[in-house]
């Protein structure tokens, strides 16, 4: 069933029957029935491809006689000269000769007679060549010879089989210096470390050491033994040399022989100041860097680790001076003469020690990887006292002691004599007692006793553990002052 709505849209218009093409009229038979025949040829195609007028019945191609077809007389072909391939469609493609005939190469050309050859006498004396031409030829020959000689001399003088110019490829290597690297720390701390030169009047040479700028006013912390010759001798001159080459005079503020620390002051504007760290935060194995002027080589950097902490060290005692005892940081960073008073910094570039002494097995006192530095916590405490008063007061227990011999039942500091009326006598300590502990510090020898006592302030009451006749005793001692 046909949809009425679609028939209204797609159906034939009203009153139209059959196809829409009115140009085409179906063919009908005699009974009026439509025949299903092909539509006639369009007029435009028939005009373009039909035979011209008067050519009806003419064929363009001769019929094939071999096909056996018959149908009237055969027509003459459109071509008559079968030897012309351009007129014969069945002719194969061939390569013809050149369009223009070549010239006859065998044609003999007339030969010119050869000229007479001139000999050297004829040229020179027969006037067969002009003198000017000979002169010009000689000049050209001389110039060619001179140029050749110069080239040969240059080659012989500047090169050989093994020498000559070279093309060397150079590349700028990328340098990685991240924050916290050794290069970064050295760059930041070097300006705060100075070289100290101590020279007496009329002397050609003097003492040399290092120092650390710890205050913007120009205070420099160093070792006492570096400036000892200038203490009490105003004529002795101390010169501070900064890493940029600036030289300025330094004056002694205060010196303490018992701790081997001293402070000098330089008159400079806005100096680079060392950042102060906490030596109490160090652990064995931490990375450290020593900065100073070993053997007068200014601003030298060496690196290592903390080898030990709280190492009792007794050093000095030269030229009649009393030996110095302190609790030191031991490091394997290379330290030599001239490093004294220089900085020992941690991996952040903060000051954790003042390089002071080395242990050496050689006669010249070279480094063998055992160096000692005064901890910064203790050194800054002494420096503040020197800046304030010019001197330092140390806690004293009022005894002389000696280390116990090996094999003793108790290791410690043996009391040799007791100062009358001193702190030890007031606490009941007697000669022969062996002190094994002062406060929280274990005492194994006389050096550790000195360090333990000086770690406290004068007037402080500390418990002292000692051994007497095989018994352990603890007495409270009120420390005095030296």
pLDDT digits (tens, 9 = 90+) for 144-155: 998 988 888 877
Alpha-carbon dihedral of residues 386, 389, 392, 393, nearest 10 degrees?
A: -160
pLDDT of residue 438 exceeding 50: yes
Task: For residue 343, tell me if it sits in a domain.
Answer: yes
Catalytic residue among 256, 260, 346, 445: 260
Mean pLDDT of 117-140: 74
Choice among 195, 225, 376, 455 that is catalytic: 225
Run of H or E including 77: none
Domain that holds residue 420: 395-481
Q: Do 385 and 309 share a structural domain?
A: yes
My answer on whether 403 and 385 are in the same domain is: no
pLDDT surpassing 60 at residue 322: yes
Last residue of a domain, one of 222, 244, 266: 266
| Mean pLDDT value of segment 4-19 | 69
Q: Is the pLDDT of residue 471 over 80?
A: yes
Average pLDDT over residues 227-247: 89
* Domain C-terminal end among 266, 301, 320: 266
pLDDT at 51: 72
**Which is more confident, 230 or 165?**
230
Kindly indicate the confidence band of residue 137, based on its pLDDT and cuts at 50, 70 and 90.
confident
**pTM for the complete prediction?**
0.63
**Per-residue pLDDT at 152:** 82
Q: Average pLDDT, stretch 370-398?
A: 92
Lowest mean pLDDT among 82-96, 120-134, 290-304: 82-96
d(CA 325, CA 306) in angstroms, rounded, equals 20
Q: Which pLDDT score is estimated for 302? A: 94
- 8 Å CB contact between 344 and 353: yes
Q: Is residue 120 in a domain?
A: no
The torsion angles phi and psi of 47, rounded to 5 degrees, stand at: -70, -35
Task: Let me know if residue 346 belongs to a domain.
Answer: yes
Count the domains in the chain: 3
Decide if 260 is catalytic. Answer: yes
pLDDT score of 264 more than 90: yes
Do 308 and 379 reside in the same domain of the chain?
yes
**For residue 419, what is the domain's CATH number?**
2.30.42.10
Within a domain: 469 = yes
At 374, which CATH number? 2.40.10.10
Higher confidence at residue 266 or residue 152?
Answer: 266
Q: Which residue among the candidates 293, 340, 446, 455 is catalytic per the annotation?
A: 340
Q: Are residues 313 and 400 in the same domain?
A: no
The mean pLDDT of 420-434, rounded to a whole number, is: 89
433 shares its domain with 384: no
Tokens at residue 230, please? 């200038």
Residue 125 pLDDT > 80: no
Asked if 380 and 409 sit in the same domain, the reply is: no
d(CA 395, CA 67): 144
Note the pLDDT of residue 286.
94
Judge if 251 and 318 occupy the same domain: no
Residue 25 lies in a domain: no
Q: Is 359 exposed, middle or buried (0-12, 13-18, 19+ CB in 10 A)?
A: middle
CA-nearest of 258, 277, 273, 256 to 211 is 273
Is residue 341, in this structure, part of any structural domain at all? yes
- Do 295 and 230 lie in one domain? The reply is no
Residue 424 has pLDDT above 60, yes or no: yes
385 and 402 belong to one structural domain: no
**Residues ≥6 apart with Cβ < 8 Å to 309:** 282, 283, 284, 329, 330
d(C-alpha 127, C-alpha 408), whole Å: 130
pLDDT for res 78: 56
Residues 295 and 377 in one domain: yes
Q: What is the mean pLDDT of residues 204-209?
A: 83
Final residue in a domain of this structure, among 336, 367, 389: 389
Phi-psi region at 229: left, alpha or beta (left = phi > 0; alpha = psi -120 to 50) = alpha
Q: Which pLDDT score, from 0 to 100, does residue 317 have?
A: 64
Which residue has better confidence, 175 or 240?
Answer: 240
Tell me if 129 is assigned to some domain: no
Q: Are residues 417 and 437 in the same domain?
A: yes
What is the C-alpha separation between 286 and 296, in angstroms, rounded?
Answer: 28
Which pLDDT score, from 0 to 100, does residue 66 have?
46
When pLDDT is cut at 50, 70 and 90, the band that residue 381 belongs to is very high
Taking residues 224-241, report their average pLDDT: 89
Q: Is residue 374 part of a domain?
A: yes
Does 304 share its domain with 365? Answer: yes
- Looking at residue 384, what is its pLDDT? 94
- Better-scored residue on pLDDT, 66 or 160: 160
Among 422, 424, 419, CA closest to 449: 424
Q: Give 23-75 pLDDT, tens digit per residue.
A: 555 556 666 666 666 667 777 777 777 777 766 665 655 555 544 555 555 55
Residue 8, Ramachandran bin (φ over 0: left; ψ between -120 and 50: alpha; else beta): alpha
pLDDT at 1 over 50: yes
Residue 344 contacts residue 372 (beta carbons within 8 Å):
no
For the chain, the average pLDDT equals 81
- pLDDT confidence of residue 178: 81
pLDDT over 50 (residue 235): yes
């Amino acid at each position: 069933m046909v949809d009425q709505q679609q028939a209204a849209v797609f159906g034939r218009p009203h009153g139209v029957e059959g196809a829409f093409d009115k140009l085409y009229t179906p063919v009908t038979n005699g009974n009026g029935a439509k025949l299903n025949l092909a539509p006639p040829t369009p007029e435009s195609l028939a005009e373009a491809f039909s035979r011209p007028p008067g050519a009806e019945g003419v064929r363009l191609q001769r019929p094939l006689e071999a096909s056996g077809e018959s149908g009237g007389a055969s027509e003459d072909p459109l071509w008559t000269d079968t030897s012309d391939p351009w007129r014969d469609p069945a002719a194969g493609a061939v390569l013809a000769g050149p369009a223009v005939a070549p010239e006859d190469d065998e044609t003999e050309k007339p030969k010119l007679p050869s000229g007479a050859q001139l000999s050297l006498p004829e040229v020179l004396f027969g006037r067969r060549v002009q003198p000017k031409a000979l002169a010009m030829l000689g000049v050209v020959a001389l110039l060619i010879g001179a140029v050749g000689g110069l080239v040969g001399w240059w080659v012989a003088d500047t090169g050989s089989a093994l020498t000559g110019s070279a093309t060397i490829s150079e590349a700028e290597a990328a340098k990685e210096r991240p924050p916290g690297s050794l290069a970064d720390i050295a760059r930041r701390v070097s300006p705060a470390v100075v070289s100290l030169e101590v020279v007496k009047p009329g002397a050609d040479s003097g003492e040399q050491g290092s120092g650390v700028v710890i205050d913007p006013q120009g205070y420099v912390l160093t070792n006492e033994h570096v400036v000892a010759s200038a203490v009490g001798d105003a004529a002795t001159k101390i010169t501070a040399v900064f890493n940029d080459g600036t030289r300025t005079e330094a004056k002694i503020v205060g010196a303490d022989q018992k701790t081997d620390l001293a402070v000098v002051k330089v008159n400079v504007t806005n100096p680079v100041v060392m950042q102060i760290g906490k030596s109490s935060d160090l652990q064995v194995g931490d990375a450290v860097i020593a900065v100073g002027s070993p053997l007068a080589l200014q601003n030298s950097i060496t690196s290592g680790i903390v080898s030990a902490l709280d190492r009792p060290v007794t050093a000095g005692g030269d030229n009649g001076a009393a030996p110095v005892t302190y609790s030191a940081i031991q490091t394997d960073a290379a330290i030599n003469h001239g490093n004294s008073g220089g900085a020992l910094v941690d991996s952040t570039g903060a000051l954790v020690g003042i390089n002071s002494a080395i242990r050496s097995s050689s006669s010249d006192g070279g480094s063998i990887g055992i160096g000692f530095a005064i901890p910064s916590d203790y050194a800054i405490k002494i420096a503040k006292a020197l800046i304030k008063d010019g001197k330092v007061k140390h806690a004293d227990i009022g005894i002389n002691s000696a280390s116990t011999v090996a094999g003793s039942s108790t290791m410690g500091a043996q009391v040799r004599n007791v100062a009358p009326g001193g702190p030890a006598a007031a606490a009941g300590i007697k000669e022969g007692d062996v002190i094994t502990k002062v406060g929280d510090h274990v005492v194994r020898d006389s050096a550790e006793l000195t360090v333990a006592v000086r770690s406290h302030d004068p007037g402080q009451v500390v418990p002292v553990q000692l051994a007497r006749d095989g018994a352990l005793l603890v007495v409270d001692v009120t420390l005095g002052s030296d």
